[in-house]
Structure 1
Amino acid sequence: MTTPDRTTQETALEALWRRAEEIRALCGLPSLADPDAGRPPPRRDSAEGLVELLLGDLESNFRRELATRVQLEGLGELMTFAIRDPEPDRPYQILLQYLARALDEPNLWLGMLRGNPPGFTLYRAWDATEAERVSLREIDPGWLRWIVLGEGQPSLGADPLGRRKAGPWHPTPIKGDMPADRLSGGAPVCPGSRVEGVSCALSGAPLEDLVGGHRRCGPCQLGRIVGLLGIVGDADRKRASLEAIVPSLGALCVNLNLSEALDLEARFREDVIENMPLGVIAVDREGQVLAWNRSAEEILGTPRKSALARHVREIAGAEGWRDSLLRSLDRGGPEAPSEHIVRRPDGASIPVEVNAAALRDAEGTVRGAVATLTDLSNLRSMEERIRQLDRLAAVGRFASSVAHEIRNPLTGIATGVQYLSRGFPEGDERHEDVRFILREVTRLNSIIQDLLSATRPRMLTLGPVSVADAAGRAIRSLGPTIQEGRVEIRLEGADHWPKVLADTDQLQQVFLNLVQNAVQAIPGHGEVAIRARPVGNPPLSRVEIEIADTGVGIEPDHLPHLFEPFYTTRPKGTGLGLFVAHGIVQRHGGSIEVVSAPGQGTRFRILLPAAA
């Protein structure tokens, strides 16, 4: 074997030292000739010095990479705990800032494939507060190729939106195994398959048909490329460091993405439960309260903070419904729906329907129980309202029949009395008795006419009616009562009142009956206020009319019977005014309600269809 001469050896050794310099530059290490390198310049006249230098660099890089990987794993665990940050971008920004400091690279950037359907989010180390999101349909083709295929041009002149600024961009793919259900509901769509044809527009490979009508090419890496890491500007000196770190980022980024997805799903479930119209209460195996939503607070009158972590037996007012919950917990199955009366802390009693069932884990072990509470107050009120309307209809039919049968005899009585009075001499005191009888017959006839008007109403002539005009005419017809000066009637904002679709005369009759009733309810001086305003939206627009007085109010026992015929609390009342008003409003397709309490006045609320 021929031994190389000294000149050849020196030339080869010099070439090895230059190559070593290049390798150190790729690893981000200072030049050997740099006086600030922190070590004396090595001897360049022997291979032993070169080997020693490279081994030292290798050991240093290995230790640094190992430390970085350990720190990345610890950082990933910390960020998993911090994933519930209100700012969903925060964990990725923390990761990027850590990498920028570890690599001493202020121009570092991180791009993540996030969301369902997926989009690309770009984070910049030099602008930690900003995150730019781009859908895969709008992203620059050069970037899309890296995301989908994991390869492309090593240097991109434009940003993800195709804008030529702050470049060039040097991407390195971050590989991971993203579950398919995180992308487009289970079957990730290859972006290159969105165009017509049999080949992928990105890779050129044939497209394969997938379940659900999706297509995908063989080289497609969508879902296996979870992000991109790179540097803006000169990236050669840090390329080796990036390639060394990227393998550690794949699992970390997948875990962050999955943690974010789980957190979003958990928050969604919490929001669903919190905003349910039913009260939701859940307990663990020991009967301690774990969940108590807003509707449960409203129905039971017990704040969430007073119920959580307490045993359900310790909660006031839980008698009845809690027994269903605990039975389902003991028996490990659902309980039949049951109704209970809940007594709230404020003294109110509310009917509720309780449905309870046991909660089991994946192995079938009972872990707790859940109950839903339905407030039946509105349902019971509606049922009572229907029963009241049925009673009103039945009484009305009966009253109509009786009125018809009485009317004819009254006419005969009046005629007979008048005939008999002709035989009385002038000045006979019996003429006064006859006039009394005739007045009573006239009064009875008036009552019968009111009954017939309510039970056998005439056909309505509907049209746009000014509420203010109808109320004004009714008030003028009550002139003698008002002129006494003891009751003031105010039409509040009448110039702006809307019109209703109604029969003018019938609406005036409603105002007449209700205002007269309000005036008679005020024993001394007082006032009656009438208001009107539009409610609802077309085509279901309504006009709300309110008539409120400052009278004595109505006892609770009387309220359910106010609209029944002949029901009155006044000695001289007929009990037909509210009955007639109720019937007229109903025939107009409206509704009438009353709110009152002793000593607090009375307020009638009428809803009528608005005029177009």
Structure 2
Amino acid sequence: MEQSLQTMNPKELEEAFTLFTEASRQLSNAYAELQRDVASLTEQLAVANGHLKKQYEEKAVLSRRLSLLLEKLPAGVLEVNSAGEIVSCNQRGFELLGAVALGSKWQNVLSDRLKLVESDVWQFGDVGESGYVRIEQVQVPEEGVELVLLHDVTTTIQMRAELERQGRLAAMGQMAAGLAHQLRTPLAAALLYTGHLQRPELRDEDRLKFAAKTNERLGRLEVLVQNMLQFVRGTPQQISTVNLVDVIHEAVSEVRSIYEPKGLRLTADVPQLFAMVAANHKELSGAIMNLLENACQASVVDGEVLCRLIGSDASWQLEVVDYGEGIAADVLPRLFEPFFTTKKGGTGLGLAIVRNMVKAYGGEVTVTSAPKMGSNFKICLPRLPDGTNVLEQD
């Protein structure tokens, strides 16, 4: 080494030291710059950590608030994972569903603890302590979970039931008032005639006359009571397979014998075939007679009432048409309401009974009318295939 230094040119040695000094200076500058960068990054990192800490604290506060809010919500909230398992549930959810174990299958809980009572309303709890919930399911595809919301609608259902009960009570009161009003006149007349029958000096022919009048008034009372019971019942007592053609001829013949002597014409446009429907023969005949009588009473002298039957693949349509006074537009919407009548002395139950009965047969009754243009009542009933036999049922 010493030999190598002795043989090195002093100028080369000076240049080497100069290069070494320059490299040392550059290294020192680079180190100083690095220290400055490290200090700056340390400062920036401290600031970023401060922001992150602040954000974390804010999110922690928000999370606590959301957790408290979730626990205080009046609705139950369940989180269900992609496997259909309940992974979380708030306090209200546990109150509505009972002691549900996390990890349970939501569909099993739904089928075991809830009972569907309406399209979107489920009943929960034991008999006497039950309630009702409406279920809403919200998908969260980003997280692969589903949120199930249980809205407690027990109060709403109870209020609705109470309103329906009050409505029924009001209808019963109105019905009782209407029945009392309708019974009073024939009952008073029957009592009067019965009193005459008790007179010892009454002649036999007068006794028979008063007895007949008493029977007539009692028959009127029986009809009123039967109409009221039929309206309250709302459903036919015995349903069997009947031929609508026979029922129509029977009803037309009965009404024709009363109104044709008064100058009215009843025409039956009914094909000679089998028009089979599921109905009660007596009640259906009474309904058709009711429509025919209404049409006759609305017709003018020498007027015509038409009863016709039209068939389709799915139903039979019976039409009762008159060309009389027609029905005012403001009356049409109320025509089938119980106790609503435009007739003097009418009960307002005839058309209501017809509507309830036809509805019980799975059909519908409608009306179109215009003042001075007459009216058209239509009864539409489901068609039974020929040869169908419906067993009578109570």
TM-score (norm 2): 0.46
The structure that is helix-richer by fraction is 2
Q: Using CA pairs under 8 Å that are at least 6 residues apart, name the structure with larger relative contact order, 1 or 2.
A: 2
